[in-house]
Amino acid sequence: MAVKLRLMRMGKKKQPTYRVVAADARSPRDGRFIEIVGTYQPRQDPSVIEIDNDKAVAWLRKGAQPTERVEKLLKISGAWEDFTGAKPDIPPAPAPTPNKGYTPPQPAKAAAPAEEAAEEEVADDTADDAAEAAAEEAPAEDAADEAAPEGDDA
């Protein structure tokens, strides 16, 4: 006889509670069972899991196969750890994912000497351009000043 550890639905309509039972694999979900191993109340906040670890481990050692959901509940209650002898697989906290298009600020780094020299040249070029523009405008203003007095004499 193949035995499974599975959930048996109890409770009112739209208010489920479950029993964790050891049952024949061929029996229906809410049908005949061999033994009650625990209860699971998912609607509570936080959900309530009450499992008799000794009974669960005994059934697992006899060869009972848990369903996926019951296996997760056994891991939470610690019965799975007792059965396998391994520490529970606790996944590491997920790293926060950066937003698309957002780059977090980087720590300031010292500029390389070549970069500093290039920045100084750019600053010198802008200063030279401003001086040249001022020099070009100055003679034009002098010529305009000289032309105006001649017009007053006539």
User: How many whole angstroms separate alpha carbon 145 and alpha carbon 152?
Assistant: 12
Alpha carbons 30 and 19: distance in angstroms, whole number: 10
| pLDDT value at 115 more than 80 | no
Higher pLDDT, 9 or 108: 9
Q: Is 81 helix (H, G, I), strand (E, B) or coil?
A: helix
pLDDT 10s digits, 62-113: 999 999 999 999 999 888 898 888 765 555 556 555 556 666 677 776 555 5
Residues 75 and 15 in one domain: yes
Is residue 10 located within the same domain as residue 76?
yes
Query: Quick one: 72 and 129 in the same domain?
Result: no
**Contact call for residues 12 and 36 (beta carbons, < 8 A):** no
Give the count of domains, the chain. Answer: 2
Same domain, 79 and 7: yes
Domain of residue 32 covers 3-84
pLDDT at residue 20 tops 80: yes
Instruction: Answer yes or no: is 49 within a domain.
Output: yes
What pTM was estimated for this model as a whole? 0.53
Q: What is the CATH number of the domain that holds 63?
A: 3.30.1320.10
Distance CA 83, CA 58 (A): 9
- The two beta strands, 65-66 and 15-24, are unpaired
Which residues lie closer than 8 Å to 26 by C-beta, 6 or more apart? 2
Q: In the chain, pLDDT over 70 holds for what percent of residues?
A: 58
Residue that wins the pLDDT comparison between 101 and 141: 101
Position 94 in a domain: no
Residue 147 clears pLDDT 80, i.e. is over it? no
Task: Count CB atoms within 10 A of the CB of residue 41.
Answer: 16
**Shared domain check, 75 and 8:** yes
| 28 — pLDDT class (breaks 50, 70, 90) | confident
In a domain, 134, yes or no: yes
